[in-house]
Amino acid sequence: MENRSTTNWRLRIGFVLSAMIGIAWGLLLGWTEIRVNAWLSPWYVLFVGMPIAFFGSMIVGMVAHRMLLSWHKFARLLVSLLMVAVGFPIGLLYGVFAHGYEPFQLIQESGPTVWYLEWAIAILGLFGGMWPRWTVPFLKLFGRFGAWLSQGPLAILRWIGDRTLGTFETIGHAIFWLPTQAYRKVTSLFQRPTTTRERETPASTPAPTTAPEPPSAPRPPRTTTLRRRAKMLKPRKAPVVARNNGHNGDSLRLTGVVEDRCPYCLDVVKKKDPRGVKKCEVCGTPHHADCWAITGKCQVPHLNT
């Protein structure tokens, strides 16, 4: 109930305001047409009377459009049109009698078409106020034009502001420079002079240093994972023993794959290994050349007798 009563009061207030603004604009429009048409100048009517009729009616239509939101647009347009129509003849009569014009003579001299055209322009302005979306492109264009026009004055104002601020800063530094120097001199006189012992900074005890550890030889990057290395360290199965079905049935033939592994990195040493091959002169164990360069000796223990 409270929301409904609030809505009703808003509707009443909006209707009353729209009606008052419409009647007031009708009065002003009638008086303006009398004054404009009395000049008997088509250019004055075209560039003064018609723009006033259009934009004034558009503002009245926008007010009714915002005040009566719960109404249909055609209902708002009808209310605005009726209110303007009520105030328009009153404004005409006031303009005629206030300035002493003969109404029929004024209409004949200016032409009835001018009056009809001004009234049509005013109605078109009411339509434009009810559907204001058509103004968006013009407002954007006007905004760009205004920004373009304001670039020069804004640049001049910015330059004036910068120069003024710089001047005041220079004056301020000049005014406060002498008191600042005097204050520094006075404070330096009243400061207690420091002795030579106070000036000397106590020698800091050196931190105990430890002998640096000898750098360890860099290891080559691992090319095998821990799981693969664990598999490689597992004991291998016995080679497959195949019977020779040749001429001698008692002879045996052993088949298997021989892999040479570097005892340093445990990777397979190929015959044409890209890392290079280095064999020990004592035991003949192949090593990778880069591993041999790191260690400098064979990694297989030799039994020297």
Q: Output the DSSP codes for 175-232.
A: HHHHHHHHHHHHHHHHSPPPPHHHHSPPPPPPPP--PPPPPPPPPPPP-S-HHHHHHH
Q: What is the pTM of this model?
A: 0.41
Extract long-range pairs of 88-93: CB within 8 Å, 24+ residues apart. Answer: 88/26, 88/27, 88/29, 88/30, 88/119, 89/30, 90/26, 90/27, 90/30, 91/26, 91/27, 91/28, 91/29, 91/30, 91/31, 91/32, 91/34, 92/30, 92/31, 92/33, 92/34, 93/30
Which pLDDT score, from 0 to 100, does residue 99 have?
78
Strands 240-243, 252-255: pairing is antiparallel
Q: Tokens at residue 188, please? A: 């330096």
Per-domain boundaries in the chain: 2-134, 252-305
Which pLDDT score, from 0 to 100, does residue 181 have?
78
3-state secondary structure (DSSP) of residue 240? strand
Q: What is the CATH code of the structural domain delimited by 252-305?
A: 3.30.40
Q: Tens digit of pLDDT per residue, the chain (305 long)?
A: 456 666 677 777 878 888 888 888 888 888 888 888 888 788 888 888 888 888 888 888 888 888 887 788 888 888 888 888 888 888 888 888 887 787 778 777 778 888 888 888 888 888 888 887 777 777 677 677 777 777 777 788 888 888 888 888 888 777 878 788 787 877 887 766 555 555 555 555 555 555 555 555 555 555 555 556 555 655 555 555 555 555 455 556 666 667 888 888 888 888 888 888 888 888 888 988 899 888 888 888 887 64
Rounded Cα gap, residues 48 and 21, in angstroms? 21
Rounded Cα gap, residues 280 and 272, in angstroms? 17
Which pLDDT score, from 0 to 100, does residue 29 have?
87
Which pLDDT score, from 0 to 100, does residue 254 have?
61
Rounded Cα gap, residues 295 and 278, in angstroms? 12
